[in-house]
Amino acid sequence: MKKGVLKYRTSDKTVNAVCACIAIGLFLILWYWGTAATKLGMMIPGPIEVLQAIGRGLFGKVGRHSIIAHVGYSMMRVMVGFAIGSLVGVALGLLMGWYGIAEAIFNPLFRIIRPIPPIAWIPISIIWFGLGEDAKIFLIFLAAFSNTTLNSMAGAKSVDPEVINAAKMLGASERQIFTTIVLPASVPSIFAGLQVAISSSWATVLAAEMVRSSEGLGWMIVAGMNNNDMIQILSGIVMIGIVGFILAIIMRKAEEVLCRWNKSGE
Amino acid sequence: MKDNKKIKYLCISILSVLAVIVIWYICIDVVHMKPETVFPGPVKVFRSFIDKLSSKAPDGATLQAHLWSSIKVALLGYALGAVIGVPLGIAMAWNKWVDRFVRPLFDLIRPIPGLAWIPMFILLFGIGITSKALVIFLGALIACIVNSYTGIRQTKETHLWVGDVFGATGSQKLFRIAIPTALPMIFTGLRVALGTSWTALVAAELLASTKGLGYMIQQARAISRPDIIIVGMLAIGAVGAVFDALLHLVEVKVAKGMNVK
């Protein structure tokens, strides 16, 4: 954060770290105490039990696979769907944002599809594509697609008209304006869209796996629910959080590299 | 000149929607590319929709009953999430100390999609309204916090300096400069949160429920009635769109001339 309101000095970083440790420490102590000393412990396992379960399952077996393998299954689905969905989404979004005619054609259709959450497509995608990978990838495609389209469109539309007029005055062609002004100006918005898209894809793959699957993190927590195994659910949730966190970090790093001039304050 | 262009685009829009429906109709009802148990045509879907308004078969409630039960839960969780999330996000972006203590905890739960909590909440609270509302609350909360936070952070330092020069107090700078700057982002957050809420709700209903649109489409899948699934999906989409439009109306009123096109 270089341009924003709160400019932390370097010395503040230590204070930040200390405060973070205190906050998280308090949370863990509260969790531990709550489960060890009160009746809550009968329902919810403590942090140590959950950590042990993760340690055991990481390379051991939860269901038919290790936790690592479950993560791998979920990630593979997300990556394929996200890649296709975001490519199509960015292209369509920029087109719709910049060319009025493209917006007139696609926007009404997009507006009919978009409010339907990708998760609501689960039943029909199972009928259309069966129980295999295709259905899940289709769902993740939808999740990534609608978010990136929306944001790329907003990005292309919010370009400063003065800049465009200046370019026109200096004799830039329509295509030059698009590639040298609209595209770079939309990048921050596109990245905001990609970040939403990746978390939405991640949520969608979990839902898809929860509804119908025999592997993946979504399966892990729903199997925990069916077996009344709270430890498995919580270790699944922790793993889901870790993966989600790593995905977010990757997106943020990519954003830092690709649009250095406009960080979104994350 | 401009009006002409608008009318032209409107015509194109209507044509494109009509074209899709006609292609759908031709593919299914005329050429019979797919059987009706896989991909029903528009006529069949429309008939099922009319039917479902009055008939309780095959899942025990009419469309309106499912709709109402879904909306109730979604709004409850969403309202809670927005009321807590937006102020918290603003506070985190504005005040260093809130940021320092709340941010780490928030960062812990943030990467976990709301619907990942569904199994845990179902075990703890059963399949009733509590577990669903909690899931929706978490989803909405995260979206609201993230966007309000980002919005406040977008405030230009120059604007704050201007405030300083004219002797604005801290709260004046917050309410007159930072929050108006952030309003478009806050509204984006509210709209994203609405989407997440619906999503989480549908997921919860797909998994374990006895009523609601998610339950309806899941039941329809079990008995291979894709027409009812599509009716349900369109209903889910329509409600989402109506809410979004309402929010947009509020946005136009509140955030005049900001990112309103």
3-state SS track over chain A: CCCCCCCCCHHHHHHHHHHHHHHHHHHHHHHHHHHHHCHHHHCCCCHHHHHHHHHHHHHCCECCECHHHHHHHHHHHHHHHHHHHHHHHHHHHHHHHHCHHHHHHHHHHHHHHCCCCHHHHHHHHHHHHCCCHHHHHHHHHHHHHHHHHHHHHHHHHCCCHHHHHHHHHCCCCHHHHHHHHHHHHHHHHHHHHHHHHHHHHHHHHHHHHHHCCCCCHHHHHHHHHHCCCHHHHHHHHHHHHHHHHHHHHHHHHHHHHHCCCCCCCC
Are residue B1 and residue B111 in the same domain, yes or no? no
Note whether A216 and A70 are within 8 A (CB).
yes
Note whether B78 and B135 are within 8 A (CB).
no
Note whether A233 and A191 are within 8 A (CB).
no
Q: Supply A100's token pair.
A: 């009025």
Distance CA A224, CA A158 (A): 46
Contacts of B156 in chain A (CB under 8 A): 3
To the nearest whole number, what is the mean pLDDT of chain A?
84
Q: What is the pLDDT of residue B101?
A: 84
Q: Supply B97's token pair.
A: 């100390």
Note whether B59 and B220 are within 8 A (CB).
yes
Residue B136 within any structural domain of the chain:
yes
For residue B22, the enclosing domain spans: 1-33
Are residue B170 and residue B47 in the same domain, yes or no? yes
Residue B85 within any structural domain of the chain:
yes
Note whether B175 contacts A: Cβ–Cβ < 8 A: no
pLDDT tens track for A180-221: 888 888 888 888 888 888 888 988 899 888 888 888 899 999
Are residue B199 and residue B216 in the same domain, yes or no? yes
pLDDT-based confidence at residue B248 (cuts at 50, 70, 90): confident
Q: What is the pLDDT of residue A46?
A: 84
Residue B261 within any structural domain of the chain:
no
Q: Would you call A127 and B108 a contact, using CB atoms and an 8 Å cutoff?
A: no
Contacts of A103 in chain B (CB under 8 A): 9
A42 has pLDDT over 80:
no
Distance CA A189, CA A151 (A): 6
Residue A264 within any structural domain of the chain:
no
- Among A127, A205, A245, pick the best mutation site for testing chain B contact (most B Cβ within 10 A): A127
Percent of chain A with pLDDT strictly greater than 90: 13
Lowest mean pLDDT among A157-161, B28-32, B80-84, B94-98: B28-32
Are residue B94 and residue B55 in the same domain, yes or no? yes
Q: What is the pLDDT of residue B256?
A: 64
Are residue B21 and residue B80 in the same domain, yes or no? no
How many domains, chain B? Answer: 2
A5 has pLDDT over 50:
no
Are residue A39 and residue A150 in the same domain, yes or no? no
Q: What is the pLDDT of residue A266?
A: 39
Angle at A221 between CA B83 and CA B194, to 5 degrees: 25
Q: What is the pLDDT of residue A260?
A: 67
pTM of the model: 0.80
Q: What is the pLDDT of residue B130?
A: 87
Give me the residue from A16, A106, A119 closest to B206, CB to CB.
Answer: A119
The residues in B 192-221 lying below 8 A from A, measured between CB atoms, are 192, 195, 198-199, 202-203, 206-207, 213-214, 217-218, 220-221
A226 has pLDDT over 80:
yes
* Biggest distance spanned by C-alpha atoms of chain B: 74
Q: What is the pLDDT of residue A4?
A: 46
For residue A99, the enclosing domain spans: 45-258
Are residue B51 and residue B157 in the same domain, yes or no? yes
Residue A103 within any structural domain of the chain:
yes
Are residue A133 and residue A13 in the same domain, yes or no? no
Are residue A244 and residue A208 in the same domain, yes or no? yes
Give me the residue from A120, A158, A236 closest to B202, CB to CB.
Answer: A120
Contacts of B24 in chain A (CB under 8 A): none
Note whether B248 contacts A: Cβ–Cβ < 8 A: no
Angle at B83 between CA B78 and CA B88, to 5 degrees: 120
Instruction: Reduce the DSSP state of residue B61 to 3 states and report it.
Output: coil
Q: Which of A106-110, A161-165, B80-84, B238-242 has the highest mean pLDDT?
A: B80-84
Note whether B103 contacts A: Cβ–Cβ < 8 A: yes
Are residue B188 and residue B248 in the same domain, yes or no? yes
Q: What is the pLDDT of residue A90?
A: 92
Distance from CA of B226 to the nearest CA of A (A): 7
Residue B94 within any structural domain of the chain:
yes
pLDDT tens track for B35-74: 777 788 888 888 888 888 887 777 777 888 888 888 888 8
Are residue A137 and residue A105 in the same domain, yes or no? yes
Peptide bond into B58 cis (omega under 30): yes
Give me the residue from A115, A200, A206 closest to B116, CB to CB.
Answer: A206
Q: Would you call B108 and A101 a contact, using CB atoms and an 8 Å cutoff?
A: no
Give me the residue from A4, A123, A199 closest to B113, CB to CB.
Answer: A199
Contacts of A237 in chain B (CB under 8 A): 112, 116-117, 120
**Between B141 and A259, residue with greater pLDDT:** B141
